[in-house]
Structure 1
């Protein structure tokens, strides 16, 4: 697995490499960059890494400039001496925020998060002890704080102005930082179903159903929403099978 390190401090880079060698020796350091300019040039000339470790404050600006300009989203573990950029980091596809000087156990936790959600060996049907493994909780931000929301407390996910939000049964709304496509791969399909291009719903959020046309159904949800909750063409049959517990996920 290829790793890119972006950090102007050679001592910090050396320390990070030492810890990576101890914790995850299979990870290859493919590049080391000290600022926005060198990182941008490296990313243009080399195959994209699987994971980026990036300091936020660089000599020529903030590393968010590099990350946000990537054509393909790559998971990033951000490092910083303070927590003032924590919210911005998660908005920039950050999967972990390490405070400098970070410790062995914190780096291990960050790498575990990558392996859980982004490693090429992690599949939708990944198994642990013979049982399917799906995302069980979501890390969300509230102002400058963060909290975990268990998946079974989520009533539905929906898109609004290209941002995907989760809404809990207690009517709290949070930005997820995910896409619906990625959520479809990570959520337990016995509990969640994508009814159309805008909504993935929890089976427990369904209040009632109404025919919307010959081949589509209107799904009334709790909490209520002002948006279209009508099943897409081609999804209605799979939707009914899902509600009844029939193994059919050939949604169109």
Structure 2
């Protein structure tokens, strides 16, 4: 859990420390995640979150100075929780277990909604996406430590590239929910597991559904024009030079 925010005065109200241990803050956190899983962050308002959590807008401002502060709180705690879950499995030192954890995380619409929120806000200020970057770095370091321990010198670079590829695929699927990557499919799960297990040499490419394209029908070639059609109209009636004018020769 992320340390609670410090108390500060805002809008003339006495501030309450924002902490998931406090029921109303927890309700705001949960409803905020749910709304961000279905909507872009620009479409989520303070009044919506407050109403969904069953508290007043005033109670929101007692805990958070503005929407940005609330989003930072949600982002930080989401990735802190994900990191904690990953750490529990990392202690087992078994790569497929860690792969399952990551697939579950990136299959969760709420988790993916926070990934999109962190990345989008990160374009405005880098601090917004720092928790996500730190989470990815943490995952990458643990997997590298596990997979590179018995790797030969020539295999190290290949295994690191495999880990980076897996995290890139997971992140892409989170950022673009309408993409063809579906972690419910066994084939795609196996690709991620193989990459995160250091089996990059035998990884099957991700199955991508492509719309069938119909080849344009071959148009029948035009038959060459008849030379007769190239003649001028009534050309057969035009007399050529030297032709008789119809008078009998005496």
Q: Which TM-score band (shorter chain)?
A: under 0.3
The structure with the greater share of residues assigned to helix is: 2
**Normalising by structure 2, what TM-score?**
0.28
The structure with the greater share of residues assigned to strand is: 1
